[in-house]
């Protein structure tokens, strides 16, 4: 979806008002932009302004990324100006991309499901996800959705973004956004092998750690909505996992709880999960976790050992280089989703 000359004119006018009229195109993709973030404000935007005229599912998050990357100088003024002019238009475009696409066999079933759940304050894409998660069984889908609404209320999920993450958790449990896959879905990187759940839980932060995972899921889903999509992919790097980390029951128990809640409240949101650099000790913990994973979720999980040639090829089949950091076969820069 492209805007064309009107949006091009608006972007260039914003630049002109700020005294910047020369624009040239540069490399494609979010990764290409991210790698230029060290440039001065002027050259940074001059070389990337053409990217701002591309609208559709990428436009709004792309502008947000510009805001994140922009150095705290004259660039911020330009970014703010362009953002304020384009945000309303971008929102309209994103809403248009969220139009439901129903299969023939889903049309009448979805209408029935909508009628049964009309009292619930959920959007249509959420309804469809829950209905599909229960194989179009209206009764089971309704039960699942109603339980999820209750879960969200009891855990105050709607306001969880305002919760201040404890510094110990923020420092230990790093998570990154790396770009968009070939279908336009966001890709996230979890360096799980570097995490030390035993240490964090040993400080009495078990409930806070679980709440952090809920907040992370909400952050990801908010990004998906900005992109006009409902799914995401994740790369889990297990390099650094040890028996000491895996053989910790509190960590395993917490993981099981989070995964159960993910399955129950965020159905049909995972595109693919790539677990790379997986050591043999991982399977000691996974045998407890596997039973709580739904069959369709398990089918999307790809587990690789430390053979980089194999897992790198698998990643590049669906994720472009500009959405993969260097150590995973690409040239993108990763951004911490909680610090950006």
Name the segment(s) of the chain with CATH classification 1.10.8: 104-154
CB-based contacts of 74, cutoff 8 Å, min separation 6:
41, 42
Q: Which of 24, 44, 23 is nearest to 34 (CA)?
A: 44
Strand order in the sheet with 186-190: 301-303, 270-276, 232-237, 186-190, 176-180, 335-336
pLDDT at res. 15: 38
pLDDT at res. 104: 84
Question: What pLDDT, in 10s, does the model give residues 217-236?
Answer: 999 999 998 888 899 999 99
H or E element, residue 94 = helix 74-97
Percent helix, strand and coil across the chain, each to the nearest 5: 60, 10, 30
CATH number belonging to domain 162-336: 3.40.525.10
Is the confidence at residue 89, as pLDDT, over 50? no
Q: Which of 239, 227, 322, 244 is nearest to 277 (CA)?
A: 239
* pTM for this model (two decimals): 0.73
Is the confidence at residue 54, as pLDDT, over 90? no
The CA angle 326-327-330, to the nearest 5 degrees, is 35
E runs forming strands in the chain: 176-180, 186-190, 232-237, 270-276, 301-303, 335-336
pLDDT, greater one: 82 or 154 = 154
Question: What pLDDT, in 10s, does the model give residues 161-208?
Answer: 999 999 999 999 999 999 999 998 999 999 999 999 999 999 999 999
Q: Is the dihedral of CA 110, 111, 113, 118 positive or negative?
A: positive
Rg (CA), the chain: 21
pLDDT at res. 102: 82
Name the segment(s) of the chain with CATH classification 3.40.525.10: 162-336
Question: What pLDDT, in 10s, does the model give residues 234-278?
Answer: 999 999 999 999 989 999 999 999 999 999 999 999 999 999 999
CATH class of the domain defined by 104-154: mainly alpha
């Amino acid at each position: 979806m492209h805007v064309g000359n009107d949006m091009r004119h608006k972007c260039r006018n914003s630049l002109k008002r700020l005294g910047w009229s020369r624009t040239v195109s540069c490399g494609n993709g979010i990764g290409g932009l991210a790698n230029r973030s060290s440039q001065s404000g002027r050259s940074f935007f001059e070389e990337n302004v053409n990217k701002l005229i591309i609208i559709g599912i990428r436009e709004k998050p792309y502008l947000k990324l510009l805001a994140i990357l922009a150095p705290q100088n004259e660039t911020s003024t330009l970014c703010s100006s362009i953002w304020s002019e384009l945000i309303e238009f971008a929102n309209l475009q994103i809403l248009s991309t969220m139009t439901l696409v129903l299969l023939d066999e889903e049309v009448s079933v979805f209408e029935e499901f909508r009628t049964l759940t009309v009292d619930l304050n959920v959007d249509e894409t959420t309804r469809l996800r829950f209905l599909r998660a229960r194989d179009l069984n209206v009764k089971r889908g309704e039960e699942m959705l109603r339980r999820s609404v209750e879960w969200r209320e009891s855990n105050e999920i709607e306001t969880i973004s305002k919760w201040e993450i404890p510094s110990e958790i923020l420092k230990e449990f790093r998570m990154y956004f790396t770009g968009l896959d070939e279908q336009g879905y966001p890709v996230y990187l979890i360096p799980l092998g570097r995490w030390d759940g035993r240490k964090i839980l040993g400080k009495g932060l078990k409930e806070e750690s679980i709440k952090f995972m809920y907040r992370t899921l909400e952050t990801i889903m908010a990004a998906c909505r900005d992109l006009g999509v409902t799914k995401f992919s994740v790369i889990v790097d297990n390099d650094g996992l040890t028996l000491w980390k895996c053989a910790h029951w509190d960590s395993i128990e917490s993981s099981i709880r989070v995964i159960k809640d993910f399955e129950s409240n965020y159905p049909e949101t995972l595109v693919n999960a790539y677990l790379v650099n997986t050591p043999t000790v991982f399977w000691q913990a996974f045998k407890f976790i596997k039973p709580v994973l739904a069959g369709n979720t398990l089918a999307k999980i790809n587990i690789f050992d430390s053979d980089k040639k194999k897992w790198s090829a698998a990643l590049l089949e669906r994720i472009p280089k500009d959405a993969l950091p260097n150590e995973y076969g690409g040239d993108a820069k990763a951004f911490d989703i909680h610090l950006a």
